[in-house]
Amino acid sequence: MATIKDVAERAGVAPSTVSYVLSGSRKISEQTAKAVHEAIAELGYHPRASARTLRSARSEVLVLAVPREPGKYRAMDGRFAIEISDAARGHGYDVLMMTEPDGVDGLRRIARSGLADAAVLMAVREADPRIAALREFGFPTALLGHGDERDETEVPWVDLDWEAAVALAVRECVAAGHRHVVFWASAEHEISARRGYAMHGLDGARRAAVETGADVRVHPSTADPELLRARLREVLGARPAPTALVVQHLIPLPLILDEIAALGLRVPEDLAVVLVGSLPDEHALFAFPRIDLPVSRMATAVVQLAVRAIGADAEPGPARHELMSPGMAPGPVVAKPSPSR
Amino acid sequence: MATIKDVAERAGVAPSTVSYVLSGSRKISEQTAKAVHEAIAELGYHPRASARTLRSARSEVLVLAVPREPGKYRAMDGRFAIEISDAARGHGYDVLMMTEPDGVDGLRRIARSGLADAAVLMAVREADPRIAALREFGFPTALLGHGDERDETEVPWVDLDWEAAVALAVRECVAAGHRHVVFWASAEHEISARRGYAMHGLDGARRAAVETGADVRVHPSTADPELLRARLREVLGARPAPTALVVQHLIPLPLILDEIAALGLRVPEDLAVVLVGSLPDEHALFAFPRIDLPVSRMATAVVQLAVRAIGADAEPGPARHELMSPGMAPGPVVAKPSPSR
DNA sequence: TCGATTCGACGAATCGATTCGACAACCGAG
DNA sequence: CTCGGTTGTCGAATCGATTCGTCGAATCGA
C-alpha cells in the first residue's frame, strides 16, 4: 500500500509538500501540484485514516446507536439507519453501527477509543442512561427522539411531535363525526421502557380526549400475536361500539387488519382506521389516512445537529431542539361513520 | 483524555509496561499489573483506536455495503444489517455502513484508507462490479448472496438456495393438488439489476415446472402500486384460473392481499398463497405457509467468512461457499384447491 | 547592485500505542 | 564468590499524515 512518502519520492518532493497539495492549506506551485497528482494517480494513493485521525483527533465517523431489545426488531429503524448514513456522507462522515442491547458500554467504548466524533441516539427513552454516559466525557451527541424535555436541555434533539400527531389523528376522527374512538398505542414493552414516542403518543390521545370531549379509549398494544388478537376482539366488541381506530403500533398492522376482518367489520365502512407514523416501505400504507413520519427530514436534521455539536465543543451555547409538526400524508381522508352503527 | 503515558506515570512504570499488561504478551509481575490496573481505572483510560490501527494495520472494523437504489428501500436489509452488526461484535469487530448507491467508489475509499479490514457485500448481482473493485486491492471480502457461481470461485459467500426455495414452494403447491400455479417473482428492477436472489428464484420456478409438469406461470413484480394491481388482476383473472400463488416479492404483500380481496377471492379457499422469504418482523407473516429465510444464521455465517478472509491474507486456499437449504417455516401448510374451481 | 520582501518547498516534531532489543536484579550451581 | 540463566521492566524505533518554523531562491524597488 502506497504511503505519502512513496508519493513524495515518486514526485521528487517532500512528504509535507504532498500533504499541502492535498489539503490546500498552503500555496504550492502549479507544476509541483501536477507532479504530485500524477504520482498519486499512478500509485493509487489514499491517505490512511488512522494516521490522519491520530494527528488530528478527528475520525470523521459518527456512531449510531440502534435501539435493540433482544428478539424484537422495529423495521423502521433500518430505514432511519440508512437515511442517517446517507445524510452523514453529505457532511463527509461515515456511520458506525452500535447494536448492543442497551448500548451504554458500547457507546463508552467507542467514545473513549476515539472511533467516532459524535453519537446519534435513536429511540430515546425518558431518563435515558446513554445520555448521561456520553455527557460524562463531553461526547458530542444528538438525539433522534426525546424523552423528557427538562432532562435534555443540554443535548440537541429532533423528534416528530408525537403528542400533536396522535392528537391530530383523533381530532380528524372526531371532525369526521366519530364519537367513539380507540387509540391503539405503542406496545407495552415500549411503554414500560418509557420510549419517548410511546409516552408522548399516550399524552396526545388524552389531550385530544379532553379537548374534543369525545370518548377516546386508550389501549396499549403488545408484541404477542395471540394476546393482541384477543385484546382487539375485546376492545372492538365493547359497547357502545367504536367506529374509529387510531393505530400507532404499526408493526403488527397486517395482524390487526386480519383480526378486524375476522370480526366481520369492513374498513372503513364499519371502522375507520387511521395510522400514526410510517412503515418502512410505502406499499404497506396504501389506502389509509395517515399522519406522516418525516423520516428523511428527521435524519437530515439529526445529522446536522450531531455535526454541529462536534464543532461546538468549545463554545457550548444553547442546544437546539426541533419538534416537527405532524401533518396528514397525502391520500384518503377519514371516512364518516356509517349512520347504521 | 488519558493516554498510555498518563497511565504509566501514574502507575510509576514505562508506557511499554502498560501495553504489556493490557495485551498480556509479556510476563509482568502481579504487583506491577495491579498498579497499572488501578491507574487505568482511576483515569478511565481506553487505548486510542487510531494509534493502535496505525501501528498494527488492523482496524477491527468491517464495512457493510447496503444495497441501495435511490428511492427504493428493502426493509429486510435493515434487519440483515443489525444481525450482521451483532455477529461482528461477537468477533470483536465493529460495523461501518456504506450506503452509497452502487458503492464501488465508497468501497474503494474505505478499503484504501484502511478504515475497515474486510467488506461484507449484500444483495450481490451477477458480475457485480464491487467484487472486482475489491479484488483489485486484495481486500478481504465475503458476500451475502451470490450471482453467478463461476464468477465467484475466489470469494467466499453465503446464500439461501433461492432456486431450491422457490422450487420447494411450487412443489408444495403441486403436492397439495394445485395444477395452475402463479409465481410472483422479484420486481423488474431487481431482475434487470441481475440480483442473485431474483435470478435464482426464476430458475427455481422453471425447474419446478419441468419437474412437476404443472402449469407454472412466471410474472415479475413491480415497484409501481397501480401497475402491480393491474397486472395481478390480469394474471389472476386468466383462464384456466390459477389456484395457488407463490410470492417472492414480499414488500408489497399488503397490496397484493388487498387486490386479491378486491377481486373477491378468498385466501386460501379460492387462492392458496405461499411466501418465499421473510419480512423483517414476524407479525406480517402470520397465517401463510412460507419458505423461511434464515436471516440470523446467514448473518453469522457471512461474518465468519469475512473474519476468516482477513486472517487468510497470506495463505489464500479455496474460498468457502455456503448454500443454505430451504425449509418450510413452522406454521400452516398449503391448502388444497377447492373442488368447485 | 544590494537589501527587503515574497514565494515555494523542506525538515522535523508530533499524535498514541506496540514491540524488539537491552539491561538490571536476582536466582542457583559450580 | 562468580558465572550463566531467568525474570521483569525500560527505552527507543516505528506506523503515516499533519503542521509549524525555517530557509533558499526569485522578485522588486531604490
Phi, psi at A247, each rounded to 5°:
-115, 120
Distance A7 CA to C3 C1' (A): 38
pLDDT tens string B142-154: 999 998 877 677 8
One-letter amino acid at B175 equals A
The b-or-e profile of A15-25 (16+ CB within 10 A means b, else e) is eebbbbbbeee
Q: Supply the angle between the helices B4-11 and B30-43 in degrees, to the nearest 10.
A: 120
Smallest CA–CA distance, residue B199 to chain A, in Å, is 23
The band of A286, judged by pLDDT with boundaries at 50, 70 and 90, is low
Q: Chain A: nearest CA to B324, how far in angstroms?
A: 22
CB < 8 Å to A64, chain B:
97
What integer is the mean pLDDT of B81-87?
96
* Cβ–Cβ gap A50/B46 under 8 Å: no
pLDDT tens profile B222-260 = 988 889 999 999 999 999 999 999 999 998 888 898 899
Which of B55, B63, B99, B232 should we substitute to test contact with A (largest number of A Cβ atoms within 10 Å)? B99
Going by C-beta distance under 8 Å and a sequence separation of 6 or more, which residues neighbour residue B48? A54, A113, A114, B3
* C-alpha atoms less than 13 angstroms from C-alpha of A290 in its C-beta half-sphere: 19
Mean pLDDT, chain B, integer: 92
Q: CB burial class (10 A; 0-12, 13-18, 19+) of residue A269?
A: middle
Per CB-CB distance under 8 Å, the chain A contacts of B64 are 97
The per-residue pLDDT for A76 is: 86
Q: Is nucleic acid strand C under 7 Å from B60's C-beta? A: no
Measured in whole angstroms, the distance separating CA A17 from the mean position of its chain's CA atoms is 43
How far is B35 from B197, CA to CA, in rounded Å?
Answer: 57
Please check whether residue B81 touches A, CB under 8 A. Answer: yes
Spatial separation of the C-alpha atoms in residues B332 and A14, rounded to whole Å: 71
Lowest mean pLDDT among A42-51, A274-283, B238-247: A274-283
Residues A242, A337: Cα–Cα separation, whole Å: 10
Beta strands in B139-240 (DSSP E): 141-144, 157-160, 180-187, 215-221
B308 vs B320: CA distance, rounded Å? 10
- Chain B interface includes A71 (CB < 8 A): no
How far is B294 from B27, CA to CA, in rounded Å?
Answer: 45
Average pLDDT score over chain A: 92
User: Of the candidates B248, B283, B254, B257, which has an alpha carbon nearest to the alpha carbon of residue A286?
Assistant: B254
Residue pair B157/B179 in contact by the 8 Å Cβ criterion? no
Q: Is the pLDDT of residue B283 over 70?
A: no
Q: What is the mean pLDDT of residues B127-150?
A: 89
| Positions of E strands within A232-335 | 244-247, 272-276, 290-291, 321-324
Nearest nt (C1') to B54 (CA)?
D15
Instruction: For residue range A67-109, list pLDDT tens digits in order.
Output: 888 777 888 889 999 999 999 999 999 999 999 987 899 999 9
Strand D bases within 7 angstroms of protein beta carbons:
7-12, 14-21
**How large is the average pLDDT for residues A180-205?**
96
A338 close contact with B: CB closer than 8 A:
no
Which residue matches cell numbers 435524519?
Answer: A299
Give the model confidence (pLDDT) of A245-261 as tens digits: 999 999 888 889 889 98
Q: What's the confidence (pLDDT) of residue B294?
A: 95
Whether chain B has a CB inside 8 Å of the CB on A85: the answer is yes
CA distance A245 to B109: 50
Q: Which pTM was predicted?
A: 0.93
A308 vs B67 pLDDT, higher one: A308
